[in-house]
Amino acid sequence: MRILWPFRRVRDRLAAGDVLRLRGRFRGRRGLVAFLAVMGPGLIAGIAGNDAGGITTYSVMGASTGLTLLWIFPITIVILAIVQEMAARLGVVTGQGLSDLIRDRFGVRPTAFAMVVLLIANVANTVAEFSGAAAALEIFGISRYLVVPIVGVAIWALVIKASYKTVERVFLTVIVVFFAYIVSAILADPDWGQVGRALVTPSFDLAPAELLLLVAVIGTTITPYMQFYLTSAVAEKGIGVDELRLEQADAVGGSIWTNVIAIFIVVAAAATIGVAGGTITSAADAARALEPVAGRLAEALFAVGLFGASVLAATIMPLSTAFVICEAFGWESGVDKRFEDARSFFSIYTFVLVAGALFVLIPGLDLLPLIIASQNLQGLLLPVVLVFMVLLANDRRLMGDHRNGRIGNVLAWSAIAVVVALDAVLLGVAALGAFGVRAG
């Protein structure tokens, strides 16, 4: 996952002429070379969906419902591809981040509303990341009350030093675990015909547990954070309009990648845990999905992957939140600034980091349900960000000939309608439950 501050530092150190020369290096190139020059933001944003929240949600889904809810992933592939393509197009055509665009187009009050939504969503995600880090090391018997403070302090030190190479190494360990899920699913030898049928045969149950999982899948696969990140990353990278199709391919490719990995995680959990009638109540339970490929080392492999994904996201989430909010209101930002010169930036960063850590330290909270709940909140907040994006993508003054077409609008508004409908059903069932009425 790329983060915004390395882009900013490079940009700030380059003269205007140097920036233009860098942007021109790949102009006129075609084929694979051009694609490799552009690719990155979309793929990274897609991989970002497979963090602690994603690994936990998909594992619980496979263990508790088997293959019955796999049909949601072809839908999330389409929705995420539509959303990521719009985010990438907005960044390429305008050269601005999403928070900048919302402020310029809608004014301060709507921007403040969007930033509050983002802040809530990212605090919830940070809670999930600290929960994931704690759950990973609980496999080895290490208490969360030791893990969370140490991880929080370490993240602070990492950010202050701005050591991107260290973050990158952590990220590479996460990729290894993703491939392990693919191998594990294959070695578990599920009925692939049944997997194929489950992917194209919807079955909808109004049971609250399944509804919670569906909303959690939407929330963890299509997070509000990803859209703000992708638009800013594309703009910061200086990708030109003549490379728009390549960046669109990058965004769609990242959307497909994150969902394919999710499918393999569900299949692996269903074929190893669900088929034996097991459930997931801890990270050690979830680790059993990797037994076909790792054997006795399954717990260690899962712990390393979950811990790496969690720490990586817990590092980036508070920092990018501070960058995006400061960008929206024109406040000074940057880890190389003094506190006196960027009070808002460091205050927001510290608030998100500390709030996420402290919530996990509340006694009596079960970590895995806490992670699922955070992803549900993401799903409930997602439509707000998507509506802003569609309105911006339709603005002729901003997008010119690259604004949404008729088919694009049908797809975009349909995607939002699906998310809203699922959220509405969940809230309706929750309301009925509050009055003692069971659905399904």
Domain ranges in the chain? 4-434
Residue position matching structure tokens 């020369």: 21
In degrees, rounded to 5, the angle at the alpha carbon of residue 44 between the alpha carbons of residues 369 and 309 is 35
Q: How far is CA 158 from the centre of its chain?
A: 21
| Helix 208-221 and helix 52-65, axial crossing angle in degrees, nearest 10 | 150
135 burial level (CB within 10 Å; 0-12, 13-18, 19+): buried
Q: Name the CATH superfamily, with its identifier, for domain 4-434.
A: Amino acid/polyamine transporter I (1.20.1740.10)
Q: According to the model, what pLDDT value does residue 292 have?
A: 76
Q: According to the model, what pLDDT value does residue 164 have?
A: 47
Q: According to the model, what pLDDT value does residue 193 have?
A: 93
Predicted confidence (pLDDT) at residue 390 exceeds the cutoff of 80? yes
For the ranges 152-166, 195-209, 278-292, the one whose mean pLDDT is highest: 195-209
Q: According to the model, what pLDDT value does residue 200 have?
A: 92
Q: Quick one: which of 55, 102, 378, 104 has its CA closest to 228?
A: 102
Least confident range of 130-139, 271-280, 404-413: 271-280
Q: Are 388 and 106 in contact (CB under 8 A)?
A: yes
Q: Are 282 and 135 in contact (CB under 8 A)?
A: yes
Structure-token pair, residue 28 = 């006129």
Report the distance separating Cα 429 and Cα 232, nearest Å.
Answer: 37
Model pTM greater than 0.85? Answer: no
Report the distance separating Cα 214 and Cα 72, nearest Å.
Answer: 8
Q: According to the model, what pLDDT value does residue 70 have?
A: 94
Q: According to the model, what pLDDT value does residue 26 have?
A: 45
**Mean pLDDT score across all residues of the chain:** 80
Question: Tens digits of per-residue pLDDT, 268-322?
Answer: 888 888 766 667 777 777 777 777 766 777 778 788 778 877 887 787 788 888 8
Question: Tens digits of per-residue pLDDT, 338-369?
Answer: 778 888 988 998 999 999 999 999 988 888 88
CA torsion 82-83-87-90 (nearest 10°) is 60
Residue position matching structure tokens 């707000």: 384
Structure-token pair, residue 96 = 């601005």
Report the distance separating Cα 397 and Cα 394, nearest Å.
Answer: 9
Question: Tens digits of per-residue pLDDT, 60-94?
Answer: 888 888 899 999 999 999 999 999 999 989 988 99
The one-character DSSP state at 281 is S
Question: Tens digits of per-residue pLDDT, 235-270?
Answer: 877 777 887 888 888 888 888 988 999 999 899 888
Q: How far is CA 91 from the centre of its chain?
A: 18
